[in-house]
């Protein structure tokens, strides 16, 4: 018989384990090329659950309680792997984006005196790394973990030298962590064997009232940014850093998302709504810890999303490309304004704008950026 002190200690450990965040896995199907895909489920003890698949590192489901404790899935997505394969190359629901998130003008850039040509997939430009980007790759699982503070998994993709025209073999590690503080933390790390450019993000579309519930126009958004990067009609930055003052892009206070969507402001006409990069208000050098960047709030459910990042920019996108042709996991046809994306990243077309924060990565250096989604209610 074990001593009483040992029995009490074992009971205490069991109690802690029972209250810890957890991670599980299950098959999610097979790609058209015969590759097996696995879905991981991260859950904390406060009612938040996140599903992620190894195809594209896609966040397929994210359940969060409202002010009454009722849970709802707040990210747009599809019901099956087949639907993701058929549609996500253009829509990018919940996916990891790379090698270069956002746009590169004319499908080319110059790095250390050499011009690199990329495939054009949003003529005349390259978008989100080009066709068959990181969002369509099978990511390997390096490790999973769980405990009293959170649960998560580390994913890896090795992009070969020359893939979609980018130089260098790039090893990318992305770690998703769901904490007991109702945070989803995303750590992006990358290393290269040749000078290259890299810009990574996650492309989840949020609807804080619940996926399939309709328009987010009555939800509110705030972005901690006094300036943005104006674009040409093809969404390529002009190179200017402009003040948001007096424009529909002044979102420094909580603002109804739908209040300015139909503005005649030229920047809003070019994008058919919001699809812009804000230069986040960050004083001094980039911090190693993520800083507050944005807040979204749904008055009906009380759900709040606070957004933190180490990245210098934030692309706020109002799902302008959704036209009803994509049917979501709840059976609803997704249309414009049915969700919004907050893509923390470096600036669009930065390799062609020396005044923008650099996206160059050299051998011996490590790219490391962090984004945090923190959920609450009010």
Q: What is the dihedral of CA 290, 295, 297, 302, to 10 degrees?
A: 40
Polymer length in residues for the chain: 378
**Model pLDDT, residue 283:** 55
> Of the listed 85, 128, 183, 203, which one is catalytic?
203
Residue-level pLDDT at 287: 61
Whether residue 245 lies in the annotated active site: no
Q: Specify whether 343 is catalytic.
A: yes
Annotated binding site for beta-D-galactose: 102-103, 203-205, 275
pLDDT of amino acid 13? 29
Annotated binding site: 102-103, 203-205, 275
CA nearest to 279, candidates 253, 305, 240, 307: 240
Kindly write down the DSSP assignment for every residue of 8-75, as one continuous string.
HHHHHHHHHHHTS-EEEEEEEEE-TTS-EEEEEEEE-TTS-EEEEESBTT-EEEEEEE-TTS-EEE-B
Residue 335 φ/ψ, nearest 5 degrees: -130, 165
Are 283 and 318 in contact, with CB atoms under 8 Å apart? no
Determine the topology of domain 32-377 in CATH: Beta-galactosidase; Chain A, domain 5 (2.70.98)
Cβ-count burial 326-341 (b if 16+ within 10 Å, e if not): bebbeebebebbbbbb
pLDDT of residue 282: 76
Q: In 3D, which of 29, 53, 93 has the Cα closest to residue 328?
A: 93
Sketch the domain layout of the chain as residue ranges.
32-377
Tokens 């959920």, located at residue:
375
The whole-number mean pLDDT for each consecutive block of 10 residues of the chain, a chain of 378 residues, reads 32 45 97 97 97 98 98 98 93 97 98 97 97 97 95 98 98 98 98 98 98 97 98 96 98 98 95 96 69 97 98 97 94 96 98 97 98 97
Tell me the backbone φ, ψ of residue 174, rounded to 5 degrees. Answer: -125, 125
pLDDT of residue 25: 97
The set of long-range contacts for 249-252, using a CB threshold of 8 Å and a minimum separation of 24, is 249/274, 249/276, 249/278, 251/221, 251/222, 251/223, 251/225, 251/278, 251/316, 252/222, 252/223, 252/224, 252/225, 252/226
What residues form DSSP beta bridges with 256? 220
- The answer to whether the beta carbons of residues 375 and 303 sit under 8 Å apart is yes
What whole-number distance in Å separates Cα of residue 374 and Cα of residue 124? 37
Residue whose pair of structure tokens reads 């969404």 in the numeric block? 235
For the entire predicted model, the pTM comes to 0.93
Residues 114, 96: Cα–Cα separation, whole Å: 28
Partners of 47 in the β-ladder: none
**Interatomic CA distance for residues 227 and 282, integer angstroms:** 11
Task: Give the CA radius of gyration of the chain.
Answer: 21
Question: Considering 183, 211, 343, 345, which one is annotated as catalytic?
Answer: 343
Q: What is the pLDDT of residue 284?
A: 46
- And the tokens for 125? 């430009």
């Amino acid at each position: 018989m074990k001593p009483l002190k040992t029995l009490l200690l074992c009971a205490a450990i069991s109690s802690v384990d029972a209250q810890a965040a957890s991670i599980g896995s299950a098959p999610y199907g097979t790609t058209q090329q015969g590759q097996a895909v696995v879905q991981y489920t991260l859950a904390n003890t406060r009612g938040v659950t996140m599903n992620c698949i190894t195809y594209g590192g896609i966040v397929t489901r994210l359940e969060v309680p409202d002010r009454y404790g009722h849970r709802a899935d707040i990210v747009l997505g599809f019901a099956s792997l087949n639907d993701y394969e058929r549609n996500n190359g253009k829509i990018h629901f919940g996916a990891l984006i790379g090698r270069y998130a956002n746009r590169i003008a004319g499908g080319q850039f110059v790095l250390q005196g050499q011009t690199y040509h990329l495939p054009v997939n949003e003529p005349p430009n390259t978008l989100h790394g080009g066709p068959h980007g990181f969002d369509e790759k099978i990511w390997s699982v390096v490790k999973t973990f769980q405990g009293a503070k959170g649960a998560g998994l580390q994913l890896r993709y090795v992009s070969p030298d020359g893939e979609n025209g980018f130089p260098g073999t790039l090893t990318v590690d992305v770690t998703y962590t769901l904490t007991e503080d109702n945070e989803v933390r995303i750590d992006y790390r990358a290393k290269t064997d040749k000078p290259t450019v890299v810009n990574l993000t996650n492309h989840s579309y949020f609807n804080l009232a619940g996926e399939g519930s309709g328009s987010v126009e009555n939800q509110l958004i705030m972005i901690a940014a006094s300036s943005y990067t104006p674009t040409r009609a093809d969404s390529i930055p002009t190179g200017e850093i402009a003040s948001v003052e007096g424009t529909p892009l002044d979102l420094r206070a909580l603002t109804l998302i739908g209040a300015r969507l139909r503005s005649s402001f030229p920047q809003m006409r070019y994008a058919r709504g919001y699809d812009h990069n804000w230069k986040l208000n960050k004083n001094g050098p980039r911090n190693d810890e993520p800083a507050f960047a944005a807040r979204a709030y749904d008055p009906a459910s009380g759900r709040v999303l606070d957004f933190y990042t180490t990245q210098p920019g934030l692309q706020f996108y109002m799902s302008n490309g959704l036209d009803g042709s994509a049917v979501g996991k709840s059976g609803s046809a997704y249309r414009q304004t049915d969700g919004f994306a907050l893509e923390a990243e470096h600036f669009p077309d930065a390799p062609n704008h020396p005044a923008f924060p650099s996206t160059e990565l050299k051998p011996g250096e490590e790219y490391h950026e962090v984004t945090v989604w923190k959920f609450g209610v009010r």
